[in-house]
């Protein structure tokens, strides 16, 4: 990851949002929040307000793009979708998470024996 | 930090609803509505559903703030934030801030003041249309006895150049005039010029009232007309438009006023107030041997002065062939008008600008050093900030904001000081320069703050880059209190050496100029200037038209003045020494072979009253002084200078010998040498004194010279006698203006004006440089001692005495100083060559000067390190060891 320690928490949220958009396709903020709740089976107590600054940050970095459209109940909503760069970033981050978690698993396994 | 940001953010948001904010509001509302609907579907009451939705959402306002933070505050606000933080920091250390701001003010202010003079004098074009086309034309004379490359042209030469040239669109001649203006009001001495009528088309400036001179006005028999200068029109005639057609009395002759020149017009001298036509007679126009005019011309199209000079040189050669007696060795020199006016000041001003720039660099080095030293002690704070997420650029920017704030503060103080500095400079600039444009204007102000910003960036960048490179983790650990990181210390040492180099250059240059000036002052003048009052009274008008009446006046005046109590002697002369005025002419020595054409010997000549030599303290080496019996009818007598006697009558006795003014064929009376006087510096302090002749004012040796300047030797303070002397003159003739009342010492000071200007200013800069250098060294040494407290404590515990510690610190300082000085002298040696031209009697690499400066700086360096070293001595070892 290589990011300074202070931004670790934000990085995790970014990954989750990217993954969600990858799975759902274009979605608005509420939809993303609902999906995260569903998938994590309510274990991840997400402060839904923090979603919006995160979405802005992702957009500033060029990993997602936004467009105003109409939601399923005929309301105006801003839809976010993954960009090509975002897809690449997602793949890269997922890979480093994999490596990190397998390393930790190995360490924990080693400590026990 | 976060809360401050969000507060600012909220403030920003509250008076700037950007489209992004409105969009966010809509998004959030939609989100909340969706949540509420979901809750209603689950069975909640609408109101409760709303509250629950909000709780689930988790804080709408925080979400908005976080969003805005992410979006980033506008650049201006971050800037303001940095500035506010920096200001707080500066306020917390008032001592440092004051010292820093003051040293900055010194450096910047010096530059601003000099720049105002440079821009007012060097950068301003002369106030004429297309000024780059205007030139002055001089004779370039190369004779064995006389060289002058800016010789005032003779009318005959002017006429020939004007008629035959192909390089100019117009050429006009100017003759110096001065008059006693009388009639309505107090008699006034007025300086002015006589213009040939084409001057107006050459300069392209015309009167704002009335009309210009025409060719008719310039003819020999025309009615007398005059044009007023703007200043005279306002002061004497109350700017009355009805002045046109009025009659004024100049030297008791009636002139009709026909025009008024525009404000600000003074050509060619700043003192000119009145203009009349030149009115060359036929005889004058053919005269190639009397040199007294000034010539101004306008170049054609895009010709350069050099090209014009080549064109005229050809003509000059033709004229020399036609008039070999007067024009052999007489060439032409063409100088651009702007260069003519500013030439003498250009080099000194540039040198001063360079010195002021060096001074500012020293200030920057000083401050960079201080900030670097402080930076290491702020590592802790910076580390915390970096850990909390501040990027390196952010930290750098914050430190730069601090240094910029400091430099702007210094700049503001500098501007205030520059106001005073500019007026001081104006009073110091040698007389005769046009200073009207040397003021504090927008250009100068912009220069001032631009320089301040530049300085702030320069000296803030180094420490900012150093600090932001720090390793946060190390600095966060306790106990490691910024012990000199190697790289930072080396940078500081380089800065100190650089600063000392600059200081050496400034000091050496200034010392050289000072010694040169002292040498100039020591040159024997040939007379005693102390206790002598001088004044100018010029006789004009019909009652003084002939010599006997003038002589009677002279005698009366001297008698009356000598009757004043306290007056030891009084006399008169045509032109005071050291006033850059005088007359020169060729002469023929009786009994010597006629010289080759154009090779007449030259001598300066003046008229004096009897007793002049005694009054001025000029020794009479042989023969006798004049007496009142050397009057009209008596044999023509002259007193010659030592140089002249030796030059023209070598190995023999000059007394009793004869000479005459003019060439061998001229019908001029023979004059007898009756006395030899000591040499007097009349025009130039530097160089061999030229041959000089003194005539008796009561006799007319054919040169029509009158006495203008009066010298009175008193036994007290000469300035005190001024009013009494004036009233004596007025008792004899009510209508004579008395001007230029000053002591002989003042005349001499004015003569040395340019050199004094250089010396004063560079001396001032040198002192500032010395102080800056000392402060810089002190700061570095003090900080170094502070840093090494633990080390000192350890040493003392291990047995080092306090004296050992002192010696250690001082020795290190001395080593640094020595290394610095040795390398710096190389730089100084190279740079002082540029001021070699300004030096008199001393070379630019004078070893004594260099050595003295070196010793002085070394002593100062030792002192600067000694004081903090003394503090080091007082370190309590136990406390130092404990201090973590």
- Torsion sign, CA atoms B336, B337, B340, B342: negative
Backbone angles phi, psi at B75, to 5 degrees: -55, -40
Answer with the one of B291, B322, B342 that is the final residue of a domain: B342
- Please indicate whether, in this complex, the C-beta atoms of B27 and A60 are within 8 angstroms of each other: no
Q: Does A33 touch chain B (CB under 8 A)?
A: yes
Question: Domain tally for chain B?
Answer: 4
Asked if residue B291 and residue B353 are part of one domain, the reply reads no
Q: How far is A89 from chain B (nearest CA, A)?
A: 20
Q: Write down which residue in B736, B761, B783 finishes a domain.
A: B736
Question: By the 8 A CB rule, do B760 and B854 touch?
Answer: no
In chain B, which residues have pLDDT < 50?
Answer: 1-2, 6, 13-15, 478-484, 884
Partner B contacted by A64 (CB < 8 A) = no
Residue pointed to by tokens 């203009």: B275
Q: Computed from CA positions of residues B359, B487, B493, B384, in that sequence, does the dihedral angle turn out positive or negative?
A: positive
User: Which of chain A's residues have a Cβ under 8 Å away from the Cβ of B63?
Assistant: 48-53
Both B646 and B599 in one domain: the answer is yes
Which runs of consecutive H residues, i.e. helices, occur in B523-617?
Answer: 547-563, 612-616
The answer to whether residue B40 sits within a structural domain is: yes
The verdict on B317 and B353 lying in the same domain is no
CB contact under 8 A, A6 and B389: yes
How far, in Å, CA of B881 to CA of B797, rounded?
9
Phi/psi for B361 (5° steps) reads: -60, -40
Gap between the Cα atoms of A34 and A48, Å rounded: 9
Using alpha carbons only, give the angle B6, B11, B12 rounded to the nearest 5 degrees: 95
Strand B738-743 relative to strand B532-537, pairing: antiparallel
Per CB-CB distance under 8 Å, the chain A contacts of B34 are: 30, 71, 73, 75
Q: Is B135 left (phi over 0), alpha (psi -120 to 50) or beta?
A: beta
- Give chain A positions within 8 Å (CB) of B27: 28-29, 52, 77-78
Other Cβ atoms closer than 10 A to B226: 23
- The answer to whether A53 contacts chain B (CB < 8 Å) is yes
Residues of A with Cβ-Cβ distance to B58 under 8 angstroms = 47-50
Whether B162 and B233 share a structural domain: yes
Contact A48 B56 (CB under 8 A): yes
pLDDT, position A30: 87
Band (pLDDT 50/70/90 cuts) for residue A100 is: confident
Contacts of residue A77 in chain B, CB cutoff 8 Å? Answer: 27, 30
Residue A66 touches chain B, beta carbons under 8 Å = no
**If you measure CA to CA, which chain B residue comes closest to A76?**
B30
CA neighbor of B279 nearest in space, from B255, B298, B312, B315: B255
Fold of A5-112: Arc Repressor Mutant, subunit A (1.10.10)
- Which residues on adjacent β-strands are paired with residue B743? B533
Contact B326, B289 (CB under 8 A): yes
Same domain? For B486 and B586 the reply is: no
Distance from CA of A34 to the nearest CA of B (A): 9
The upper half-sphere exposure of residue B137, i.e. CA atoms within 13 Å in the direction of its Cβ, equals 35
Of A39 and B18, the one with more pLDDT: A39
Inform me whether the C-beta atom of residue A60 falls under 8 Å from chain B C-beta atoms. Answer: yes
The alpha helices in B16-71, defined as continuous H runs, are 19-41, 46-57, 60-71
Do A49 and B70 make contact, defined as CB atoms within 8 angstroms?
Answer: no
| CB contact at 8 A, B557 and B572 | yes
Inter-chain Cβ pairs, chain A and chain B, closer than 8 A: 66
CA distance B731 to B740: 19
Give the mutation candidate from B23, B31, B55 for the A interface (greatest A CB count, under 10 A).
Answer: B31
- Interface residue A73 vs chain B (CB under 8 A): yes
Cβ-defined contact of B66 to A48 (cutoff 8 Å): no
Residue B354 and residue B338 share a domain:
no
The token pair at B154 is: 């003779």
Q: Does A4 touch chain B (CB under 8 A)?
A: yes
B461 falls within a domain: yes
What confidence score (pLDDT) does residue A3 get?
36
Check CB contact of A30 with chain B, cutoff 8 Å.
Answer: yes
- Which residue on chain A is closest to B70 by alpha carbon? A53
B453 and B560 fall within a common domain? no
Containing structural domain, residue B577: 539-736
Query: CB–CB of A49 and B388 under 8 A?
Result: no
pLDDT of the residue at B252: 84
- How far does A6 lie from chain B, in Å, by closest CA? 6
- The residue among B780, B788, B806 whose CA lies nearest residue B880 is B788
Please indicate, yes or no, whether residues B289 and B391 belong to a single structural domain of this protein: no
State the smallest CA–CA distance between residue B45 and chain A in angstroms: 20
Inter-chain contact A56–B71, Cβ cutoff 8 Å? yes
CA B710, distance to chain mean position in Å, is: 32
Judge whether B48 and B121 are in contact, CB under 8 Å: no
Question: Which residues from B are below 8 Å from A30, CB to CB?
Answer: 30-31, 34-35
CB contact under 8 Å between B31 and A75, yes or no, is no
* Cβ <8 Å between B389 and A4: yes
Show the beta-strand stretches assigned E in B156-278: 168-182, 188-195, 209-210, 225-228, 247-250, 253-260, 274-277
Please indicate whether, in this complex, the C-beta atoms of A49 and B58 are within 8 angstroms of each other: yes
Task: Report the pLDDT value the prediction gives residue B883, as an integer from 0 to 100.
Answer: 53
Which of B666, B701, B736 finishes a domain? B736
Distance of alpha carbon B161 from alpha carbon B173, whole angstroms:
11
Determine the distance in angstroms separating the CA of B463 from the nearest CA of chain A, rounded to an integer.
24
Tell me the residues of chain A between 82 and 111 that have a Cβ less than 8 Å away from chain B: none
Please give the residue of chain A at the shortest CA–CA distance from B69.
A53
Number of helices (H) and strands (E) in chain B: give both, helices first: 28, 22
Q: Are residues B862 and B732 in the same domain?
A: no
pLDDT of residue A80: 92
**Contact flag A5-B69 (C-beta cutoff 8 Å):** no
Measured in angstroms, the CA of B58 and the nearest CA of chain A are apart by: 6
Taking an 8 Å cut-off on Cβ atoms, the answer to whether A52 and B67 are in contact is yes
> What per-residue confidence (pLDDT) applies to B483?
44
Does the distance separating the beta carbons of B24 and A52 come in below 8 Å?
A: yes
Residues B702 and B726 in one domain: yes
Q: Which of B31, B60, B389 sits opposite A29 (nearest CB)?
A: B31
Which residues of chain A does B28 touch, with a Cβ-Cβ cutoff of 8 Å?
Answer: 52
Out of A48, A53, A78, name the one closest to residue B58 (CB): A48
Query: How close, in Å, is residue A21 to chain B by CA atoms?
Result: 17
- Does the distance separating the beta carbons of B70 and A30 come in below 8 Å? no
Residues in chain A closer than 8 A to B39 (CB atoms): none
Beta strands in A1-113 (DSSP E): 27-28, 64-70, 76-82
Residue with token string 């001495």: B189
Residues from chain B contacting residue A48 (CB–CB below 8 Å): 31, 56-58, 63
């Amino acid at each position: 990851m290589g990011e300074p320690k202070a931004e670790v928490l934000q990085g995790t949220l970014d990954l989750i949002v990217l993954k969600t958009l990858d799975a759902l396709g274009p979605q608005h903020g509420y939809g993303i929040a609902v999906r995260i709740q569903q998938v994590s089976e309510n274990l991840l107590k997400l402060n839904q307000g923090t979603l919006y600054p995160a979405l802005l940050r992702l957009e500033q970095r060029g990993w997602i793009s936004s467009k105003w459209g109409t939601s399923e109940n005929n309301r105006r909503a801003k839809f976010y979708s993954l960009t090509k760069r975002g897809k690449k970033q997602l793949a890269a981050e997922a890979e480093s998470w994999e490596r990190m978690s397998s390393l930790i698993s190995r360490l924990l396994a080693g400590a026990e024996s | 930090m976060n809360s401050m940001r969000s507060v600012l953010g909220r403030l920003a948001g509250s008076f700037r609803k950007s489209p992004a904010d409105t969009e966010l509001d809509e998004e959030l509302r939609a989100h909340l509505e969706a949540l509420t609907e979901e809750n209603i579907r689950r069975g909640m009451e609408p109101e409760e559903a709303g509250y629950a939705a909000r709780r689930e959402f988790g804080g709408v306002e925080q979400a908005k703030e976080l969003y805005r933070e992410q979006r980033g505050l506008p650049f201006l606000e971050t800037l303001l934030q940095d500035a506010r933080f920096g200001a707080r920091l500066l306020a917390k250390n008032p001592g440092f801030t004051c010292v820093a701001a003051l040293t900055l003010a010194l450096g910047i202010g010096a530059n601003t003041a000099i720049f105002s003079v440079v821009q007012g004098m060097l950068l301003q074009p002369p106030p004429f249309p297309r000024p780059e086309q205007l030139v002055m034309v001089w004779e370039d004379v190369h004779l064995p006895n006389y060289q002058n490359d800016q010789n005032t042209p003779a009318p005959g030469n002017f006429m020939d150049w004007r008629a035959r040239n192909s390089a100019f669109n117009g050429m006009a001649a100017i003759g110096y005039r001065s008059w006693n203006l009388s009639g309505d009001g107090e008699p006034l001495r007025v300086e002015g010029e006589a213009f040939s009528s084409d001057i107006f088309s050459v300069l392209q400036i015309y009167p704002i009232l009335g009309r210009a001179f025409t060719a008719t006005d310039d003819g020999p028999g025309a009615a007398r007309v005059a044009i007023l200068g703007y200043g005279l029109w306002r002061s004497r005639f109350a700017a009355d438009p009805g002045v046109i057609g009025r009659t004024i009395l100049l030297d008791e002759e009636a002139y009709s006023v026909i025009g008024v020149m525009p404000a600000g017009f003074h050509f060619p001298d700043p003192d000119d107030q009145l203009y009349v036509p030149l009115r060359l007679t036929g005889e004058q126009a053919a005269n190639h041997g009397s040199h007294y005019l000034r010539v101004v011309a306008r170049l054609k199209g895009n010709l350069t002065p050099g090209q014009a000079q080549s064109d005229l040189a050809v003509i000059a050669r033709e004229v020399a062939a036609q008039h070999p007696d007067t024009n052999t060795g007489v060439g032409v020199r063409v100088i651009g008008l702007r260069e003519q006016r500013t030439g003498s000041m250009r080099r000194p001003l540039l040198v001063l600008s360079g010195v002021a720039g060096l001074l500012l660099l020293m200030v920057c080095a000083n401050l960079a050093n201080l900030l670097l030293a402080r930076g290491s002690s702020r590592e802790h704070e910076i580390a915390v900030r970096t850990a909390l997420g501040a990027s390196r650029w952010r930290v750098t920017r914050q430190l730069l904001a601090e240094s910029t704030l400091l430099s702007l503060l210094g700049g503001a103080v500098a501007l205030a000081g520059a106001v005073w500095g500019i007026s001081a400079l104006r009073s110091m600039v040698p007389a005769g320069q046009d200073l009207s444009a040397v003021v504090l204007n927008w250009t100068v102000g912009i220069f001032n703050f631009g320089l301040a910003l530049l300085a702030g960036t320069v000296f803030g960048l180094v420490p900012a880059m150093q600090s932001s490179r720090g390793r946060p983790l190390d600095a966060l650990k306790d106990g490691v209190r910024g012990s000199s990181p190697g790289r930072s210390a080396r940078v500081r040492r380089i800065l100190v050496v650089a600063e000392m180099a600059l200081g050496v250059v400034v000091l050496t240059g200034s010392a050289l100029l000072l010694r040169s000036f002292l040498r100039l002052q020591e040159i024997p003048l040939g007379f005693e200037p102390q206790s002598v009052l001088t004044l100018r009274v010029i006789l004009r008008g019909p009652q003084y038209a002939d010599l006997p009446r003038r002589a009677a006046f002279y005698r009366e005046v001297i008698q009356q003045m000598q009757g004043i109590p306290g007056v030891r002697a009084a006399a008169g002369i045509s032109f005071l020494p050291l006033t850059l005025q005088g007359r020169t002419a060729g002469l023929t020595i009786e009994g010597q072979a006629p010289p080759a054409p154009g090779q007449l010997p030259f001598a300066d000549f003046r008229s004096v009253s009897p007793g002049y030599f005694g009054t001025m303290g000029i020794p009479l080496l042989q023969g006798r002084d004049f007496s009142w019996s050397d009057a009209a009818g008596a044999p023509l007598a002259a007193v010659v200078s030592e140089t002249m006697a030796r030059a023209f009558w070598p190995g023999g006795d000059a007394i009793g010998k004869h000479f005459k003014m003019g060439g061998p064929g001229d019908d001029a009376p023979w004059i007898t040498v009756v006395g030899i006087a000591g040499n007097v510096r009349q025009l130039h302090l530097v160089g061999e004194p030229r041959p000089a002749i003194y005539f008796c004012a009561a006799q007319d040796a054919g040169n029509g010279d009158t006495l203008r300047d009066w010298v009175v030797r008193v036994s007290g303070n000469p300035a005190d006698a001024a009013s009494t002397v004036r009233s004596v003159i007025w008792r004899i003739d009510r209508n004579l203006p008395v001007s230029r009342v000053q002591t002989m010492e003042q005349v001499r000071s004015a003569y040395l004006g340019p050199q004094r200007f250089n010396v004063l200013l560079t001396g001032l800069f040198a002192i500032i440089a010395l102080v800056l250098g000392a402060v810089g060294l002190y700061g570095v040494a003090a900080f170094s001692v502070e840093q090494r407290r633990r080390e000192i404590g350890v040493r003392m515990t291990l047995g080092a005495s306090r004296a050992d510690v002192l010696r250690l610190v001082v020795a290190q300082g001395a080593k640094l100083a020595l290394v610095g000085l040795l390398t710096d002298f190389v730089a100084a040696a190279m740079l002082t060559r540029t001021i070699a031209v300004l030096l008199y009697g001393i070379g630019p690499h004078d070893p004594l000067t260099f050595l003295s400066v070196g010793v002085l700086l070394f002593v100062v360096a030792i002192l600067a390190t000694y004081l903090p070293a003394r503090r080091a001595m007082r370190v309590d070892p136990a406390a130092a060891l404990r201090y973590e």
